[in-house]
Structures are given as C-alpha cells and as structure tokens.
Structure 1
Amino acid sequence: MNVLFKPIAHSWVAENPNPIGVIQFIGGALYGTLPTISYRHFLQSLFEEGYTIIAVPFQFGLNHGVIARGLLDERDRIRQALDYPEALPHFWVGHSLGCKYIALLEAYSSEAIKKGAKNIINEPSLLIAPDISDTKDAIPIPGLPYLLDYFSLGVRPTKKETQDIIRNSGLFNLTALISFRDDDIAGNAMGSPDESDVSWFIHELEYQRDKPLLRKEIPGGHREPIGIRIGESLVDLNLWDGIFEPIGKRHLEGVAIQFLAELVQRRGTFALAKLLNKTT
C-alpha cells in the first residue's frame, strides 16, 4: 500500500481508508522539516499497519512551550478537516527534539485540565531517542548560549526546567520509549542521567515512580528512524555501517508497532480503572 501525503493545515497527512488510530508525528531539528522524505520508510510502515499519519514539519524557535502548545491547535484543525471521531485513538510519536514538545504537552496537561484548556490526556505517546535540548544545543556558538540564558533570551523551558515540569506532573502513564545503543546525542539506557536524556527519562518515569515503563533499546544510532526504502534496502544516514541497510535487519518499525498496540491496551485499562473508581 503506497502512502500518499496531502497538505492539510500546516502538516502533511496520509489518511488511511480504515484507520485503527491517528498518529501525529514530530521529528527532530533539520530532518524533521521534511518529515515525509526524511522519515519516509518509518511513516509508511505505520501507515501500512493501519494508522492515519499526521507528519508535522519541525518548527524552529527558542520558546519550546509555545511551539508545543501549537501542536494542539494543529491536531484540532486536522481532526475537523478529516472529521474522524474523537473516540479513534490519537497517538503522539516523536523523534529527537520532537519528543521534547510531546513531553511538554503531556506535562502541561495536568494544569490544562484544571483550567479547562486543551490537553493530551488519554492520548498515548511514543518517544524515540528523546532529546531535551538547551540553548547550547540549539545555538552551538561558544559563549552566545550563556549570554542568551543570562538575559532570559535562550531556549525556554530550559533542560532543567523541562525536567522539573515532567517530574512534578505525575503523568506519563501512557508513554513508551525506544532508545538506541549507539546514540551519541540522546544517549542510551546505560548512560548517566546527568548526561543521557534517555537514561534520565528511564530513571524518572520508571525507577523514581516504581512503575514499569514500556521501553526497549535496540541497535542503531540517533538517526536510525531516518531513511527511504529502495527495494529491500533502506538508504539511511548511518554512514559508519554503510548507507544501505537491509530491511530484514530493521528493528525500529516492528518495536514501534508493538508498543503502539500495547499503549492502546494500557489506555483501555486506565479508562476502566477510572470508571471503577468513580462507581465505588
């Protein structure tokens, strides 16, 4: 089944004729600006599994909180355009810095509910190689990030602020995480939480809360999700192991599809638990 994207609102949308869910995808900086090209094979695999795909082009900016909240408006515009029922599961899937926007939306949801504002409660998320960028990551010019942060002109929320928001939210019960063993940007599960964003998420969402986190670490580097399929090979950007990767050796798509299915089950379990609590 060939995936055909069409422009709707500010995104590229591939509408599945018989959707089992809707995936709103946000990629990383640079490659995420052209998600339907950079992440072609990954998105097509999800489409073929039965999902409608909303590929949101990455938006550059220093106010990550504002950018994150803008994704909610995009969700609602596309939901209205496609006229799909709200009961259809809506997933948030991110790669790299795109995960920061999704994590912020989740963390903001608790306060948003109190205010009657838009939120992503009961909308599961899959974080792939999550990167919580700071000003020094967004602007790698020696000295300049320090000055911008000093005058409160840098990235907001900062890495520490983002971690505090996530820590204090008490949410993330419908979150899954995929990491890569050779990731030198987001880190891996074995790294120190002070240096590896992946390790920090695991430490915070699993060890600190004493709850099982749906997660798996697989072979590959930070750019593993990026690639275009040609025949039985994937043209990717992992130059160290060759430009062409045999499709048969891929792990990411299978794990992502499995996690999405498990998140639906968890979503149903949480909904049932809430219903029982209300009636007892």
Structure 2
Amino acid sequence: MDWQEISGNWVLVPDRPIAIVHFLGGAFVAAAPQLTYRRLLEYLASQGYAIVATPFVNTFDHIEIAKSVLQSFDRALEILQTRIIKKRYIPVYGMGHSMGCKLHLLIGSLFGVERAGNILISFNNFAARDAVPLVEQFSQVFSVEFTPSPLETNKMISDRYQVRRNLLVKFDNDSIDQTYTLSELLKKRFPDMVTFQILKGSHATPIGQDFKWQTGDSFSPFDAIGQWMRQEIYRELQGLETAIVRWLNPMGTR
C-alpha cells in the first residue's frame, strides 16, 4: 500500500476499503499532508479507510480555498470510484485539523456535499491579526481579514451547515483551540449527533511522526529507555487514532 498522486491529491487505498476519508491539514503544514500527517493517515488506512489528502496553500480567502480543495477531491473521488475502488457507493467522511476544520465546515455549509460525518480536530477560527504574524501591523493601515471572518464563519455554521454527524476533538494542552465554541454551535443545530472528546495532547499531536528504535546485537538498558520514550511520545497520538476509529466504526468490524 503506497501513496499515489491523483488529480493533485495524495491518496492511500487499502484492499477493500470500507470508507473514504477526505483529509485537510493545518494552515502551515497542509502543503504536504502525506508527509506531515503520515503516521495518523497511514494508521487509518491500515484500519480499512481510503485516504484522500488534499494539499493547499493558505491565503486570506478561505471560501476560495474550500471551493478549490473540494473540486480537487471530487476529481480524485471520480477516479477512485471508477478505476480503483469500483463500488457504486462508499461513505465519505471529512477530517480536518486546525484550519482544515474550518474548510470542512465551509464545505458543509456552502456546497451540496454528501458526507457520512466530519471529524474536526483542534478547531480554531482566529481573526487574521491573531493568526498571522505582522498582520496586526498592516491592519492598522489596511483592512485585512480572512474571508469569511470569524463572526461570519460562526453564523454560516449556525445557519447552513448540513453535515449531521460530527466528532469534535480538543486536546487538553492546546491554548489556541476553539472547539468549545464550535461544539455549542453544532449542538444547537444537531443536538444528538455531536460527539465531543477531550484527549491528552497539544495542537501539534496530529502531526506526530513515528520512528523505529533500532536495538543493538543485545538488548541493553539504553534500548529499554529508548523504547519507553517512544511509547510515551506516541501515547497521545495513539489516543487520537483510537478515538477516531471507534467513532468511525463503533462496532469494530470491517
């Protein structure tokens, strides 16, 4: 199972996939999601989920980005369904981290997409002056803000968001997370369809990368310490992986 590029997306397809996950990353790590989120996405693929990770470059026009990544995904989806997966229907889930959450929320509010659910990790919806260095200095002279603005985004979600089933994930050591606000918006819209989980970790937990500890000819105390450190570092990412798979497939069967 290897990554392949399809219509500008990075795609990973296991044998007999049970669903497709459309992944969008955070603003400054989204240009190469197959690398920056490699461990998380490859784990989901190992559990039977086809991954379509759409790269993007951040601009101030988030609506245009949402439109662009959706068009790119749709092109890849058509190829997957006709040439690779060859199923008449396979459920599609959106999954986003940080800014990727906002893009999936915009997609679910502005475009007529069919989604079995969305997984929204570490949502934030800051104004440009708070999110981008130096913007505050320019905004004193020029009007600089994301499109839509944070208030416009919240109203759009409240009035128009159509994806009913949602998993919201907040990490307990994440000072820029705004998932509580999002949770209130979505619970008003779909009271019984929103799952909110607080996990151990930080805003960077989803981009944790794996490494293999190579032991010597004999297993030494140093090797034991190295393996223990590896387990501790990735315990938080494992918690995220487990939460996502349990929500995707509560029965635990393929």
What's the TM-score, normalizing by structure 1?
Answer: 0.75
Q: Does 2:193 align with 1:200?
A: no
In the alignment, which of 30, 38, 42 is matched to residue 40 of structure 2? Answer: 42
Q: Distance in 2 between the 1:5 and 1:184 partners?
A: 33
State the 1:140 CA deviation.
Answer: 2.2
The aligned runs of 1:54-203 (5 Å cut-off) are 54-82=52-80, 83=82, 84=85, 85=87, 87-109=89-111, 119-141=112-134, 142-148=136-142, 150=143, 153-169=144-160, 171-186=162-177, 197-203=178-184
2: CA distance between counterparts of 1:252 and 1:230?
18
- CA 1:160–1:46 in 2, change beyond 3 Å: closer, same or farther? same
1:225 and 2:206 matched: yes
The correspondence for 1:260, drawn from 228, 248, 252, is 248
Kindly, what percent of the aligned residue pairs are identical? 25
Question: Which of 192, 216, 222 in structure 1 is aligned with 2:197?
Answer: 216
Opposite residue 203 of structure 1, the aligned amino acid is E
Uncovered stretches (5+) of structure 1, i.e. residues with no partner? 110-118, 187-196, 234-241, 264-280
Helix, strand or coil: the match of 1:230? Answer: coil
SS at match of 1:45: helix
Establish whether residue 20 from structure 1 lines up as the match of residue 18 from structure 2.
yes
1:143 counterpart letter in structure 2: Q
Alpha-carbon offset, residue 35 of structure 1: 1.1
Code of the aligned partner of 1:135: A
Structure 2: how far apart are the matches of 1:51 and 1:243? Answer: 26
CA distance in 1, matches of 2:107, 2:183: 18
Distance 1:122 1:6, change over 3 A: closer
* Amino acid in structure 1 at the alignment position of 2:107: L
**Structure 2 gap ranges (5+):** 215-228
User: Structure 2 counterpart of 1:140, which letter?
Assistant: P
Give the direction of change, closer, same or farther, for the CA distance of 1:180–1:245 in structure 2 (3 Å limit).
Answer: same
Letter in 2 for 1:154: E
**Structure 1 pair 243–223 and aligned structure 2 pair: CA distance change class (3 A):** farther
Instruction: State the alpha-carbon separation in 2 of the partners of residues 208 and 125 from structure 1.
Output: 14
Give the conservation status (yes or no) of the 8 Å contact 2:54–2:73: no
Q: Quote the offset at 1:125 in angstroms.
A: 0.8
Number of residue pairs the alignment of both structures matches:
231
Distance 1:261 1:208 in 2: 23
Report the aligned-residue RMSD.
2.4
Q: Structure 2 vs 1, CA of residues 138 and 248 (structure 1 numbering), >3 Å: closer, same or farther?
A: closer
